[in-house]
Chain A
Amino acid sequence: MKLYLAPIVVSIATSFFRRAKVNLHFNRAQELMDSRCFSEAQEIFSTLFDDHTEAVAKFAECLLLQSAYADASVALDLLQQALSARCYLNSTSDVEMYEIVEERANFRLTKLRFDQIIKNNDPSRIKSLEENISYIDSIRKKELINDFEKLKQKNQLSLAHQYFKLGLYEEKRNSLPQASKLYGKAMETLRTQVSDKIFQSAHIRLKICKLKCSINLPGGFLSGIEPTNPYAEELYYRYAIRLIKDGQITRAEKIVKKYLNGRKANLVKLRKVIDQEKKKKAVFKVNAVNEQIELLHAGIFDQKTINFYNELPTIIADLITIFPGLSGQLEEFKPLFFNRLLSYYYESNQYDRAVDLILDYPAFYNSPTLMKNLGNACLNFISNHDLTEDNYRITISSFLSATFADEVMLDSLADTVWDDGYTFTLIDSIGAVNELELDLPGNVNCEPKSETNISIGEAQRLLLSQFEYLLQNQNIDIPLKNAVISYYNFEKSVLELVSASIPVDGILTGPYLAKKYNLYPKILRKLEKNEWKLDEEQILEAGSFYNFDRSSDFFNDYDDAKETIQTIIEAIANQDLDALEEMTTEENIELIQSYPRLLADLEDSIIKAFHILIGEDSGNEDLLPLMEQASTAVPESTKFNYLYSNYICELCTNFEWDDFDGLDMIWRAYQKNPDNINVCRILVHYLNNNVIDILNEEASEVEEIFRIVGWINSHKSATFRQNCELLKETQNKIWNSQPKPVQNAINASFEYGDEILEDDLLILKVVMQTLVMLCT
């Protein structure tokens, strides 16, 4: 045993002493390193590479530390040695510890190199910077990643600076392609730092080179340029000149106004040239205008003239800014060309274009002459062309607006020579003339019409009938025709209403035209004033057709009430009880009731809607809940109550009902219409049946029957009383059919109480009492 143990003990002891010795040396080296005795420390660390895991890392660290105290060239050498120490790493070495030191050594090395490159302004600077950047990119980075990034950016900035300086050098030598290449390299180097001044400067100089080379310029040529850069002004200046040469004066002017508004002599000259170029262009336009005038003088009118008219507003706007003195003359052209164009469209039967031409004329709706032309163009349009629904709308609204305007008729009248002493009266005109009366022409009055005092209203009505005849005879689909005629009637009725509601100080337009040309606010304001002190509901009704954007509080409540009525009627038509309940709220009904005419409309519309539904199906009992709900909207309506009770009578008469259901139904009718003779007769019939059912113990809803009987008893109408014969007969018949003892028993119960009666006799007594009560 001892023999075996001895070598093991010796081996352990040797290992222990060896380990202790290594640690002793390592600690000694560490102490030397801490006291900056780097060479000695390195020597010891180097002997421990195979024995101590941290020896290589410490060796490298020692070199790194030493480099901090050495001058640059020695430091670089020491750092290289530290990096070369990687080759001493073995399987037991602490690699992670070494790589931390290695990263720091690399950082120190690249920084020192950068400092050296900047310090020594030698010709190989660009190459050195490129190499240093490549080296930074190639090494492993972990702890110092941000520091490396900053260092790389510094290198890039210096490199870009070098490229830029070389670019300037080449540009000065007029070697523009080479300069452009270098500026491009500078920008590429700084592609992650585009806001840097060098990037901006290179960017601008590159564009300047392009301008110097007369290269075709792409769109957005100035995008990304920083105007405060010292090279920017030159770029703007050169670019403006290029644009002027290319004939792009407006763009050149924009650049000059924005960036080159200084007082330098060259800039003043540049602005002057731009002004001159603008004038030269304007002179071409002036010549074009004069050519058109010459053609007009010669009576020539063709497509070119039409195009010219369409471009006239732009031409006028352009010329006025350059030659303000021409503004008066230029403005005179519009009516002139307009007249020629209108004549041309009439001669060539292009009434659609004539309508568009007038509608495009500024504020045409204020001119009686233009409105007259619009009216007759619309009439011709309808009789000569196929129209879309939208065409019809604008045409109808325009024609009616023109025809309803007395001012338009007077303007038309003034164009005619009347040599036979006729006068004209507005007494029955369809327009509103009050304010016009103040300034009527000499041959116009408001006296009764006669053979020599001609009615303008008659002429207006003739025009309307001509237009209506054309509409009726349009060769179009029936649905479209119905829509068109309905639309015509709508616009006409609105114009009639609004003409009767306000004094007009201009031309009143129909709703469609008023909306399209934003003329309705003026009409609404006029209506609100109510100068003729008319019934307010008439004013509200007229305004409701023009309150397009709901901007007038004056009309909004009324419009809400109208909309509610429409929704109620739709709900009835669709037999939608939920929607009807939702719309017939107390608040909604109160709102409608505050407008008596609307309430009357509601009553008529409800009755009409139910008539339609009953016409479609006269036995539809589902209408009853709908009718009951509708009656909450018009609770006082005798017409509706009549319709309701009558419908129940018809249901009761034409169909078979269970006795209780029949009673329940007719009782509802009786509540609405207690004096209707049919209702009373049917009610008596069902009361009779239900009482007999109780007597025969066949009634299932006894309590309900007595509830209804009780109600009827306290609400007996005169008509009911007059028609309850059947009940009396039943009463007598039942009583007389009873044997004497039964009669005696019942009579006795009045004196001795119901306790003396058997159940069946008690029922008989109650039935008899009920019948007597109802007949009394």
Chain B
Amino acid sequence: MNNPYIVLGISQNATKQEILRAKMQAMKDRKFALKEIHEAERILATPVRRLVADFLFPSRIKSKRPKFLDLGQQLDETNITELDENAMDTINIEIP
């Protein structure tokens, strides 16, 4: 059996009225069998069974709407081409 919230296409915040409306809509949409839609509505109308359905309905953990990362800082002008490979030349050092 599918989770009643999924069958009726509603969230856990749905009020009694919204559940009834969702049931009517689900019957029109016919995505699920009529028996399953009736059962879903019955479950959500029975508090203990609704508690079980709530437990079995995944919740989102707290998160914020994603924002683009903004570096807000310029890269320095220093470039690899500025490095002189011969700058640390030691060839003229006396032989140890």
B39 CB to closest chain A CB (Å) equals 14
Residue A416 lies at the interface, judged by CB distance under 8 Å to chain B? yes
B residues 54-96 in Cβ contact with A at 8 Å:
54-64, 66-69, 71-73, 75-76, 78-80, 82-85, 87-91, 93, 95-96
Once the chains are docked, how many angstroms separate the CA of A354 from the CA of B78? 47
The 8 A CB mask of A146-178 against B (1 = contact, 0 = none) is 000000000000000100110010011000000
Residue of B at shortest CB range from A211?
A: B85
B93 touches A230 (CB 8 A): yes
| Contact of A241 (CB < 8 Å), options: B12, B68, B83 | B83
| A336/B96 in contact, CB under 8 A | no
Expressed in whole angstroms, the Cα–Cα distance for A202 and B73 within the complex equals 46
Cross-chain contact A286 with B69 (CB below 8 angstroms): yes
Please report which residues of chain A, range 346-392, place their CB below 8 angstroms from some CB of chain B when the two chains form the complex.
346, 354, 367, 369-370, 372-373, 375-377, 379-380
Interface string of A179-200 (1 = CB under 8 A from B): 0000000000000000001100
Across the interface, B75 reaches (CB within 8 A) one of A165, A269, A276, A413, namely: A276
Contact A237 B87 (CB under 8 A): yes
Interface centre among A229, A241, A370, A424 (most CB of B within 10 A): A241
Q: What is the total number of residues of chain A having a CB less than 8 Å from a CB of chain B?
A: 88
- Complex contacts, B69 vs chain A, CB 8 Å: 286, 289-290, 293, 326, 329-330
Stretch from A94-102, A459-467, A507-515, A647-655 at the B interface: A459-467
B66 and A333 within 8 A (CB):
yes
Which candidate, A337-345, A542-550, A703-711, is the interface stretch facing chain B?
A: A337-345
Q: Which residues of A contact B66 (CB under 8 A)?
A: 293, 296-297, 332-333, 336
Q: How many angstroms between the C-alpha atoms of A277 and B50 in the bound complex?
A: 57
Per a CB cutoff under 8 Å, which of A198, A413, A417, A458 touches B14?
A417
Q: B51: which A residues are within 8 A, CB to CB?
A: 409, 412-413, 424, 454, 456, 459
* CB <8 Å contact, B64 and A367: no
A373 close to B58 (CB less than 8 A): yes
Report yes or no: A377 in contact with B58, Cβ–Cβ below 8 A.
Answer: yes
Given the complex of chains A and B, what is the CA–CA distance between A571 and B13 in angstroms? 60
Provide the bound-state CA to CA distance between A336 and B54, in Å: 21
**Are A376 and B58 closer than 8 Å at their CB atoms?**
yes
B25 within 8 A of A: no
Which residue, B57, B61, B73, B87, has most C-beta atoms of chain A within 10 A? Answer: B61
Distance in Å from the Cβ of A306 to the closest Cβ of chain B?
17
Interface check A697, CB cutoff 8 A: no
Check: A485 CB closer than 8 A to any chain B CB. Answer: no
How far in angstroms is the closest Cβ of chain A from B59?
5
Nearest chain A residue, comparing its CB with the CB of B14: A417
Asked if A721 is at the interface of the complex by the 8 Å CB criterion, the answer is: no
Task: Please state if B14 and A270 are interface contacts (CB–CB under 8 Å).
Answer: no
Q: Which residue of B lies closest to A375 (CB)?
A: B55
A165 close to B91 (CB less than 8 A): no
Verify B78–A276 contact, CB threshold 8 A.
yes
Interface string of A202-214 (1 = CB under 8 A from B): 0001000001100
Whole-angstrom distance between the Cβ of A125 and the nearest chain B Cβ: 15
Of listed B66, B80, B87, B96, residue having the most chain A CB within 10 A: B66
Residues on B with beta carbons closer than 8 Å to the beta carbon of A413: 51, 54
Partner of A233, one of B67, B79, B84, B90: B90
B95, chain A: closest CB distance, angstroms:
7
A36 close to B (CB within 8 Å): no
Chain B residues with CB under 8 A of A372: 55, 58-59
Q: Which residues of A contact B57 (CB under 8 A)?
A: 376
Known: A201-B96, A238-B85, A343-B58. A332 touches B63 (CB 8 A): yes
Contact B67 A230 (CB under 8 A): no
Residues on B with beta carbons closer than 8 Å to the beta carbon of A280: 75
Q: A244-B80, A372-B55 are in contact. Are A335 and B87 (CB under 8 A)?
A: no
Per-residue B-contact encoding for A636-673, CB less than 8 Å = 1, 0 else: 00000000000000000000000000000000000000
Find A335's partner among B50, B62, B80, B95 (CB 8 Å cutoff). Answer: B62
The yes or no answer to A273 lying at the interface (CB within 8 A) is yes
Q: B42 within 8 Å of A by Cβ?
A: no
B12 and A339 within 8 A (CB):
no
Of B54, B58, B73, B80, the residue contacting A277 (CB under 8 A) is B80
Contact B48 A458 (CB under 8 A): yes
Residues on the B chain within 8 Å of A286, using CB: 69, 71
Chain B positions within 8 Å of A462 at CB level: 48-49, 52
Is A346 touching B78 in the complex (CB atoms < 8 A)?
no
Bound form: Cα–Cα A201–B12 in Å = 76
CB distance from A304 to the nearest CB of B (A): 16
A286 to B68, CA, bound (A): 9
A283 at the interface (CB under 8 A from B): yes
Report B1-30 CB contacts with A as 1/0, cut-off 8 Å.
000000000001111100000000000000
A696 within 8 A of B: no
Docked complex: A391-417 residues within 8 A CB-CB of B: 403, 408-409, 411-413, 415-417
Name A323's contact: one of B13, B71, B79 (CB within 8 Å): B71
Cβ A463 vs Cβ B12 within 8 A: no
Q: Is there an interface contact between B87 and A266, defined as CB atoms closer than 8 Å?
A: yes
- Residues of chain A within 8 A (CB-CB) of B68 are 290, 293-294
Q: Determine the distance from Cα of A373 to Cα of B56 in the docked complex, in whole angstroms.
A: 8
A251 interface residue, CB < 8 Å from B? Answer: no
Q: Which residues of B contact A276 (CB under 8 A)?
A: 75-76, 78-79
- CB atoms of A339 and B55 under 8 A apart: no
State the Cβ distance, A607 to closest chain B Cβ, in Å: 42
Closest to A338 in B: B61
Q: A346-B58, A417-B15 are in contact. Are A164 and B88 (CB under 8 A)?
A: no
In angstroms, how far is the closest chain B Cβ from the Cβ of A134?
25
B61 in contact with A270 (CB, 8 Å): no
A412 & B83 in contact (Cβ 8 Å cutoff): no
Tell me the minimal C-beta distance from B58 to chain A in angstroms.
5
Question: Could you say which residues of chain A place their CB within 8 Å of the CB of B50?
Answer: 416
Residues in chain A near residue B58, CB distance under 8 A: 342-343, 346, 354, 372-373, 376-377
Closest to B60 in A: A339
Q: Are B90 and A230 in contact (CB under 8 A)?
A: yes
Contact call A339/B93, Cβ cutoff below 8 A: no
CA of A326 to CA of B93, assembled, Å: 47
A296 to B68, CA, bound (A): 11
A690 at the interface (CB under 8 A from B): no
| Contact in complex: A165, B95 (CB < 8 Å) | yes
Q: Is the CB of B62 within 8 A of A415?
A: no
The interface bits of chain A over 262-282 (1 if a CB of B lies within 8 angstroms of the residue's CB, else 0) are 001010011011011101100
Nearest opposing residue in chain B for A453, CB measure: B47
Q: How many Å lie between the Cα of A299 and that of B95 in the bound state? A: 68
Contacts of B88 in A (CB 8 A): 233-234, 237-238, 264, 266
Asked if residues A376 and B90 are in contact (CB atoms below 8 Å), the reply is no
Chain A positions within 8 Å of B, measured between CB atoms, are 161, 164-165, 168, 171-172, 197-198, 201, 205, 211-212, 229-231, 233-234, 237-238, 241, 244-245, 264, 266, 269-270, 272-273, 275-277, 279-280, 283, 286, 289-290, 293-294, 296-297, 323, 325-326, 329-330, 332-333, 335-336, 338-339, 342-343, 346, 354, 367, 369-370, 372-373, 375-377, 379-380, 403, 408-409, 411-413, 415-420, 422, 424, 454-456, 458-459, 462-463, 466
List the interface of chain B (C-beta within 8 A of A). 12-16, 47-52, 54-64, 66-69, 71-73, 75-76, 78-80, 82-85, 87-91, 93, 95-96
Cβ contacts A to B, 30 pairs, < 8 Å: A164-B95, A168-B91, A230-B90, A234-B90, A237-B87, A245-B80, A266-B87, A266-B88, A273-B80, A273-B82, A276-B79, A277-B80, A280-B75, A286-B71, A329-B67, A332-B63, A332-B64, A335-B61, A336-B64, A338-B61, A369-B60, A369-B61, A377-B58, A380-B56, A409-B51, A416-B50, A420-B16, A454-B51, A456-B51, A459-B48
The 3 closest A-B pairs by CB, nearest first: A459-B51, A335-B63, A237-B88
